């Protein structure tokens, strides 16, 4: 079974390789544009991964100019350009995820570290919990909510596929205490959390109210890491209009430190499972 890949990551990797090849050829962007007789904006979009398609002929022209002669290297760059055009399953939910979608990066992530302050993380939600959560906002047509629920359910497949992503979650106690829908919905959600926490690739830690002040008293965030060393980690922060991606090395490092501090303040995975089980007991008796 082939591991899903991220078109966006392949596009970013291609742009990085082409910039490196241009630098090694001691060529400036101005010189390249002049020699290839391109508009300045065309090269800029390619090198900044802002264009989804790099034509094979254009790629050959760049490699010829940069004196990339190794057949294996040329084939690899053409493969990256081809993969960058492939649409993932999330493209059919464009109205849900937006143009730059989180699942695009999740598809190829090796590890995801998530801190959640008020709700169960999306990758660990049951469909019923997600539906109740979405119904708590502004009035939305049932069809639109159903689409968002379906999209979130498909996202969860990265946890159970062949070669699954490693998920590390720290969630505030408030995420467990905030009722979403009926007691049955919350009981099912707690049972699902306990089930997922048993998977070897999933760690769930609860940060109890008793911990008091802690480093993660900020917006919820996720840190995504990738198997290729050239694909640097990114931070995703969910917003009211979709989400914000942070790629600056210092910002990613700061969020990484914050997550580690939150982990240190949280209960262990074993203690957290017991904590969740204690939250579940009164829900099952209602």
Structure confidence by residue, pLDDT tens digits, 21-57? 898 889 898 899 998 899 888 888 888 887 878 888 9
- For the purposes of burial, counting CB atoms within 10 Å of the CB of 56, is it exposed (0-12), middle (13-18) or buried (19 or more)? exposed
pLDDT of residue 82: 81
- Residue 281 has a CB neighbour count (10 Å cut-off) of 10
* Cβ(113)–Cβ(14) below 8 Å: no
Beta strands in the chain (DSSP E): 111-116, 166-172, 202-207, 221-225, 234-239, 242-246
* Cβ(267)–Cβ(206) below 8 Å: yes
Measure the CA–CA gap between 10 and 276, rounded to whole angstroms: 39
pLDDT of residue 89: 55
* Cβ(4)–Cβ(108) below 8 Å: yes
What tokens were used for 175? Answer: 């995420």
Please compute the mean of the pLDDT values over residues 67-96 and round it to a whole number.
74
Q: Which residue bears the tokens 């007691």?
A: 183
pTM to 2 decimal places: 0.76
* Cβ(149)–Cβ(131) below 8 Å: yes
Residue 228: partners with Cβ closer than 8 Å, 6 or more residues away: 9, 13
From residue 254, how far is each of 172, 246, 247 by CA, in Å?
19, 11, 12
State what percent of residues in the chain have pLDDT above 70.
90
Measure the CA–CA gap between 175 and 114, rounded to whole angstroms: 13
Please compute the mean of the pLDDT values over residues 219-234 and round it to a whole number.
87
Closest among 267, 14, 9 to 22, alpha carbons compared: 14
What tokens were used for 84? Answer: 């960058």
Given a cut of 60, is residue 171 above it in pLDDT?
A: yes
């Amino acid at each position: 079974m082939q591991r899903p890949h991220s078109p966006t990551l392949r596009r970013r990797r291609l742009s990085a390789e082409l910039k490196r090849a241009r630098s090694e050829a001691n060529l400036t962007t101005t010189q390249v544009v002049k020699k290839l007789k391109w508009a300045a904006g065309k090269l800029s979009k390619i090198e900044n991964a802002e264009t989804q398609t790099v034509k094979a002929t254009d790629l050959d022209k760049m490699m010829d100019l940069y004196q990339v002669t190794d057949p294996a290297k040329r084939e690899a760059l053409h493969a990256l350009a081809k993969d960058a055009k492939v649409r993932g399953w999330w493209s059919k939910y464009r109205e849900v995820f937006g143009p730059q979608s989180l699942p695009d990066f999740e598809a190829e992530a090796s590890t995801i570290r998530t801190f959640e302050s008020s709700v169960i993380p999306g990758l660990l939600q049951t469909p019923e919990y997600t539906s109740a959560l979405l119904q708590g906002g502004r009035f939305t047509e049932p069809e639109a909510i159903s689409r968002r629920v379906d999209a979130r359910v498909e996202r969860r497949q990265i946890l159970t596929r062949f070669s699954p992503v490693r998920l590390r979650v720290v969630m505030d106690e408030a995420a467990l205490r905030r009722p979403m829908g009926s007691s049955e919905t919350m009981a099912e959600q707690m049972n699902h959390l306990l089930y997922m926490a048993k998977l070897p690739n999933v760690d769930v830690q609860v940060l109890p109210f008793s911990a008091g002040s802690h480093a993660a008293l900020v917006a919820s965030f996720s840190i995504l890491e990738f198997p290729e060393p050239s694909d640097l980690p990114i931070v995703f922060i969910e917003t009211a209009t979709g989400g914000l991606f942070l790629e600056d090395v210092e910002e990613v490092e700061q969020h990484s430190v914050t997550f580690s501090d939150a982990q240190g303040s949280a209960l262990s995975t074993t203690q957290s499972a017991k904590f969740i089980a204690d939250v579940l007991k009164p829900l099952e008796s209602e």
